[in-house]
Every structure is written in structure tokens, then in C-alpha cells.
Chains A and B, each alone.
Chain A
Amino acid sequence: MSLLFQFLIGLLFGTGLVVAGMSDPAKVQNFLDLAAIPSGGWDPSLAFVMGAGTLVTYLGYRFVLKRKQPLFDNQFHLPKKTDIDAPIVMGPAIFGIGWGLGGFCPGPAFTAVGTGSVQAIIFVVAMLAGMVAARLLALRQIEAATHTSKA
């Protein structure tokens, strides 16, 4: 049941991306192209996706997080970090360059794979390699830090 729910929730997320037009990298890049404002080529649609998505989530989280626990787990898993460290700037800076170059972020890249696009598959394979590399590096750093603090 838990697995079926996750599939359906992912399906809703992906359908939202498609309805919003975010599965089209051209639409994303046209949002990012502020220099096209004078010529009328700027497409502000993405701001409406973010605006509506954030508003609905803000209202929904207020309701959901008052509950004791989620349906299929005994606790809510919320990020605990609050400090502004180097990775929270460096990571997104690198991410943004890639997002601008390809017009794909992770969610839309997977919906694009679902259209059968070979180009999207190539992007996703490269993205997975980047993700796994970053995670291994991050876990190794955490391990090294733990060893240092013990010694």
C-alpha cells in the first residue's frame, strides 16, 4: 500500500509538472532569460508554478505537521540544519549553472524520460553520476569529521 501511494504521489507530481509546462526545457530557459524582457520573449510562467506550489504546500504543511505522525511512518523527517555553510551556497551555485545550460532540473528530467526522449535519458544518466559522486563525497566528509572529533 505504501509503495502504491508513493507511485500515485509521484504520478501527481509529474502530471503537475507537465500541466505547468515545466517538462519543456525551452519554457524554463525562457523564464531564466531576463534579457528577453524588452523583446517580449520572456516567459514568466515558472513564477506561477513556484508561487502556487509554495502556497499550497505552506497551507498543507501547517495542517499535516500538527498531526502526531505520518500514515506509514512513526515520525516526520524534516531537515534539522539551520546554519548557512559553504555547501548551501556552492551546491545551488553549481546546480544553477547546469539548470541554465540544459533547462532541466531533476523532476522535469524524469518526466522528459517518460516521453521517450533519448536526449533526456542522456541528461538523466549524467545527473545520476553527479548525484552519486556528490553523495559519496559528502558521506566521506561526514565520516572524516566524526573520526577527527573522536580523536
Chain B
Amino acid sequence: MTTEFTPIASAIGGAMIGVSAVLLMATHGRIAGISGIVVRMFPPYLDKDAGGRFMFILGLVAAPLLYATLTGTWAAMTIAASTGVLIAAGLLVGFGSIWGNGCTSGHGICGLSRLSVRSLVAVATFMTTAIITVFIARHLF
């Protein structure tokens, strides 16, 4: 399944994510790391902001509907993986993101912006294993 190279749309979307991350820091003093926001919706609660985190995630879920309403088309989405692979992928993404204190947003966008060495190590590591995984899944099987 080929996809079109979209440098301008992707840069605009990336900038919107950046503005969102800056706003979350300005209003709530929090890193816009999705994995951290998600897991803190669940007990044990270490602070009182689980409701706010739920609202943030609700915003993520509502985004495609807003996009479809504004543009008249739903965003393209192709899920190539089988259900079994998706379950395994979900478990790995979930466990790994929390074990490593962050995912693509927390370490990628926010951590790199703070010039964090830990985040740089994290990004380099997950990019490497993800590239190797796609290579094995697509070209060796």
C-alpha cells in the first residue's frame, strides 16, 4: 500500500501538534506525552487530574469527526496488520511506552524540544527497532 509524500500537510499538522504541546504546558504545566496522559486516567491516582486527561483523550478521539465535518472527507486509514498482530502490537506499544517513560509525542516532540538526552536515546532506540521490525515483516516474510 503506497502513500503519497505530503511534506506541506505533514509540516502543518506537525506544527499544530507543536502548538497543542505548548498550550498544554502553558495552561496545565504538563508534557503532551500521550502515553503518560492515557495511563494516568487509570488507578492508582497520584493526583486529581484524571478527569482532565480523559478530556484530552476525548479531544483526540473527536478530531477525525471535526476534520470530516470541515473538509467533507474522512481521513485515509489503512490497517494492514491482522487482528492477532494488532493485539500483540498494542501490548508492546502500551508496555514499552510506559516502561520507557514516553512515546513518539512525549520523547519525540516534547523531549527533543527540551534537548533531553534521555529522550534522544529513546527516539533513536524506537526508530531503530521499528525500522528493523518493518523490514522483517515486509521483506523477509
Interfacial residues, chain A to chain B (CB-CB below 8 A): 2-27, 29-30, 32-36, 41, 43-46, 48-58, 60-61, 63-65, 67, 69-73, 75-79, 81-84, 87-107, 109-115, 117, 119-120, 122-135, 137-139
Contact = CB atoms under 8 A, between A and B. Distances in A.
A117 B86 CA distance: 13
Contacts of A87: 99-101
Contacts of A132: 39, 42, 94
**Which of A6, A15, A84, A137 has the most B CB atoms < 10 Å from its CB?**
A6
A117 to B, nearest CB: 7
Contacts of B63: 10-11, 13-15, 17-18, 111, 114
A88 B80 contact: no
Nearest to A45: B10
Contacts, number: 498
Contacts of A101: 81, 85, 88-89, 92, 133, 137
A69 B26 CA distance: 8
Interface residues of B, number: 110
B15 A93 contact: no
Nearest to B7: A48
Contacts of A16: 13-20
Nearest to B112: A54
Interface of B: 1-7, 9-32, 34-35, 38-39, 42, 44, 51-53, 55-67, 74-81, 83, 85-101, 103-105, 107-114, 116-118, 121-123, 125-135, 137-139
B77 A24 contact: yes
A106 B97 contact: yes
Nearest to A125: B90
Given A117-B77, A122-B86, A126-B86, A91 B96 contact: yes
B125 A96 contact: yes
- Chain A contact residues: helix, strand, loop or mixed: helix
A49 B13 contact: yes
A60 B22 contact: yes
Given A13-B59, A102-B81, A35 B89 contact: no
27 contacts: A13-B59, A16-B13, A21-B6, A21-B9, A23-B77, A24-B77, A30-B1, A32-B130, A43-B2, A48-B7, A49-B11, A50-B109, A53-B14, A54-B112, A76-B25, A88-B101, A90-B99, A92-B123, A94-B99, A96-B127, A98-B96, A100-B137, A102-B86, A107-B104, A110-B61, A112-B79, A130-B94
B81 to A, nearest CB: 5
A26 to B, nearest CB: 4
